[in-house]
Amino acid sequence: MKTMQQLQHFLTMAELTPEALTELLALAKDIKHQPSVYQNALSHKKVALLFEKASTRTRLSFEVGVAELGGHPIVLSGADMQIGRGEPLSDTIQVMSRYVDALMIRTFGHEIVDTLAAHGTIPIINGLTDLHHPCQVLADLLTIEETFGTRSGKILTYIGDGNNMAHSLMIGGALSGMEVRICAPEAYAPDPQIVHEAQVIAKETGGNIIVMTDPEEAASGADVVYTDVFASMGQEEEATMRLQAFEGYQVNANIMNQANDEAIFLHCLPAHRGEEVTADVIDGKQSVIFDQAENRLHAQKALLVTLLG
């Protein structure tokens, strides 16, 4: 793990130390409240934004963020590039390194971002892979800190698929000194290696990482209740099977009643009302999903300033 000054890439939350995460979120809050101070932070910098998966929030927040920092965003589609025709990633990133100052990519296998980081000479930002979603978790932690004034000691319960969101939340929560409870059916539990990685970090920060299967037990006393879609992009063919597997894992009023009275509800969006969450919860007074979505912009601006500013 690295300090902010040593940060070269942002592939997973484990790129950060607890101290670097605190600095990064402090910078995000400063950028949020004083955007004009940073309007030239990326002056003359060119940032490629490569999408092999469709996107709403990631594309908008990064494109707007680069522009608001005075940089030039270049939006690319994998289907329109030579990588779509089989050009080696190592060749692609060595060429891109001659043209742009950084690359953000939203893609499938995590080995793709590892390869790009290994062969390029520019910062690589993981906008999403099948294994990790660290940029989303920066926004999540910023939202939690804004709500409660601290992250340390808070209990975050994630109910749903042990996917990339669960993985990044465990590491981010561990870095924050939080208790993170991942509640999923046994067949959809998070990656054991990442669970172990997060538990090792948590031992150093006073946090805790727990994998559970009972949603009511997991939500008991929670400060944050979080969920994600049961079938993510690329899993559409599994949708019916997954809906059956996740029966009983919906976040509803009963689940929220198990949490603390001041608990907040988070969702990385897009959401399927009536599936992983009921409308009364996601549209209710405990939901802060739109503050959370806005914070993608501020957290990622802080990340860009750290890597390039």
Q: Which of 136, 250, 292, 300 is catalytic?
A: 136
Q: Does residue 292 have an active-site annotation?
A: no
Which stretch of DSSP H or E encloses residue 291? helix 289-308
Active site residue 136: yes
133 is catalytic: yes
Strand 155-159 versus strand 124-128 pairing type:
unpaired
- 9, 133, 167, 181: the active-site residue: 133
Burial class (CB in 10 A: 0-12, 13-18, 19+), 34: exposed
Task: Please confirm, yes or no, whether 268 is among the known catalytic residues.
Answer: yes
Q: Say whether 106 is catalytic.
A: yes
Annotated binding site for carbamoyl phosphate: 55-58, 82, 106, 133-136, 268-269, 296
**Catalytic choice (130, 161, 223, 228):** 228
Q: What angle do CA 34, 38, 39 make, to 5 degrees?
A: 110
Rounded Cα distance, 71 and 66, in Å: 5
Q: Where is 266: in which H helix or E strand? A: strand 264-267
Cβ neighbours of residue 158 closer than 8 Å, sequence gap 6 or more:
165, 166, 169, 180, 181, 182, 183, 226, 227, 228
CA quadruple 308, 72, 88, 107: dihedral, nearest 10: 80
Binding residues: 55-58, 82, 106, 133-136, 164, 228, 232-233, 268-269, 296
Q: Of 181, 242, 268, 300, which one is the catalytic site residue?
A: 268
Q: Quick count: other Cβ atoms within 10 Å of Cβ 74? A: 16
Binding-site residues for L-ornithine, in ranges, read 164, 228, 232-233
Please identify which of the residues 9, 101, 106, 267 carries the catalytic annotation: 106
| Active centre residues (catalytic) | 106, 133, 136, 228, 268, 296
